[in-house]
Amino acid sequence: MNKNETSQTSGMPEEWQAEGKKKTKIVCLGDSITEGFGLGAEENYPVLLGRKLGGEYEIMNAGVTAHCVTDETAPDGRTIGLPYMRTEKYAAGIAAQGDIYVLLLGTNDAQDGLFDDGSAVDPYFNVFGQREHFIRHYERILSDVRRANPAARIYVCRPVPILNCIWPKHQQKYLDVILDKLDEIGRRNPDVRMLDLFSAFRSKGDAWLKSVYQADGFHPGPEGAAFLAELVADRLAEDARG
């Protein structure tokens, strides 16, 4: 458990134990945008989400930087990309049997493995080249969540935009394809709830977007993470009101 998890997943307060109440457990599955790459320990969106929702909720940050949904092996036995489903944090997130799961994944599937100098494509990191497998692997994650807690509410997020990223392998044109696949997942799985972070961020305009991202043009900065947490919190509150 890292610092981000510790601050939001400590033991139940005495008053909760005395009243016999149980906190609602939210598990945030994701990549670096969830883990909080480039942010302080108290600036990632799961921590901010916990603050917004208050003491009735317990938040688990199961994000892992640089990992993708796709879980494919090349003919020579090497793994393509860094599959999220093979990580310890993913296993822990599923084992937590959350009441609510927020899935913010797919950004690292929108990469072609191009080296930073643009000289060549690394075939073992051309995850976008495996895009025909994306839906199947994403639905494996959904199946894992359902098995862990059949009653869990599941939110599938359309990821935030990719700007002028310093890593040329990450491109918005690839993310556009992944977004379409996420929309298809929503149509195929009527029990999941779609949360369109992409459109919410994009609607604020290019100048605002640039101002709330880190210099890499890929990760939201503190203000962007706060906006992300606000979007998730507002949707959860809206659904709770029913």
- Give the strand order in the sheet containing 153-158: 57-63, 24-30, 100-104, 153-158, 193-196
Does the pLDDT value for residue 19 go beyond 70? no
Mean pLDDT of the chain: 92
How many residues does the structure list for the chain?
242
Q: Enter the DSSP assignment of 171.
A: -
Q: What is the mean pLDDT of residues 192-209?
A: 98
Split at pLDDT 50, 70, 90, the class of 242 is confident
Cβ(139)–Cβ(189) below 8 Å? yes
| All residues at 6 or more sequence positions from 213 whose CB lies less than 8 Å from its CB, including other chains | 163, 219, 220, 221, 224
Does the pLDDT value for residue 100 go beyond 90? yes
- Determine the pLDDT at residue 157: 98
Q: What is the pLDDT of residues 44-61, one digit of tens each?
A: 999 999 999 999 999 999
Q: What is the mean pLDDT of residues 205-216?
A: 98
Helix (H) or strand (E) holding 227: helix 222-241
Rg (alpha carbons) of the chain, rounded to whole number: 18
Q: What percent of the chain has pLDDT above 70?
A: 92
| All residues at 6 or more sequence positions from 119 whose CB lies less than 8 Å from its CB, including other chains | none
Does the pLDDT value for residue 8 go beyond 80? no
Decide which of 140 and 21 is more confident: 140
Split at pLDDT 50, 70, 90, the class of 195 is very high
Does the pLDDT value for residue 13 go beyond 90? no
Q: Which pTM was predicted?
A: 0.91
| All residues at 6 or more sequence positions from 125 whose CB lies less than 8 Å from its CB, including other chains | 80, 81, 111, 113, 169
- Determine the pLDDT at residue 52: 97
Decide which of 19 and 233 is more confident: 233
Does the pLDDT value for residue 12 go beyond 80? no
Q: What is the pLDDT of residues 139-190, one digit of tens each?
A: 999 999 999 999 999 999 999 999 999 999 999 999 999 999 999 999 999 9
Helix (H) or strand (E) holding 29: strand 24-30
**Alpha helix positions (H), 72-221:** 88-95, 134-148, 172-188, 197-202, 206-212
- Determine the pLDDT at residue 11: 36
- Determine the pLDDT at residue 20: 54
Joined tokens for residue 20: 């016999």
Does the pLDDT value for residue 118 go beyond 80? yes
**What is the maximal distance between C-alpha atoms in the chain?**
63
- Determine the pLDDT at residue 241: 87
**193-196 vs 153-158, strand pairing mode:** parallel
